[in-house]
Amino acid sequence: MGEYTALAIKGVVKAQFRKFTDALIEGNWGSVPDPYFEAFSKVHRSNSIPRGFSYYFNSELCVFADVDCEQADPFYDIETGEYHIYCSLKNYDNTIQEFFKLIPHFMQECSIIRTRYNGYDSPICKYELADNEVRFIEAEPFDEWD
């Protein structure tokens, strides 16, 4: 079996992609008439983002995502483009890394991009959107027993 990897993203969707609510809310990435979205839709478990298995996104992961657990559901505002993803998925096929390739294409900015593997002493991995790519910044220790 294997563990889940949690994913948290807060950002703003580019204006030209805001109308594609089915993709952004339900993870139906193939519904966007765009080759980048179509390619991502063919990645195994791509439909786990943004909803994934959010019930594995428990209280300790809310701390990791810097979010109140009452608000840890995916969020999207079509007018402003504000977009939040909180989910967990089995990342066997590097689904998250493939999604990171899509982010610069449809998001204009991100204030939070984080992952955390569901292991006892797994760190919080922090990333940034810069120069049209998602870049690793740091791995921060995470002690769920504190």
Per-residue model confidence as pLDDT tens digits over 43-94: 999 999 987 765 455 555 665 566 666 555 678 899 999 998 888 888 989 9
Q: Can you give the length of the chain in residues?
A: 146
First vs last Cα of the chain: how many Å apart?
A: 28
Q: Which residues are bridge partners to 87 per DSSP? A: 7
Return the exposure string of 14-44: e unless at least 16 CB atoms fall within 10 Å of the residue's CB, then b.
eeebbebeebbeebbbbbbebeebeebbebe
* High-pLDDT (> 90) share of the chain, %: 51
How far apart are the C-alpha atoms of 11 and 113, rounded to whole Å?
9
pTM of the model: 0.87
Peptide linkage before 104 cis (omega within 30 of 0): no
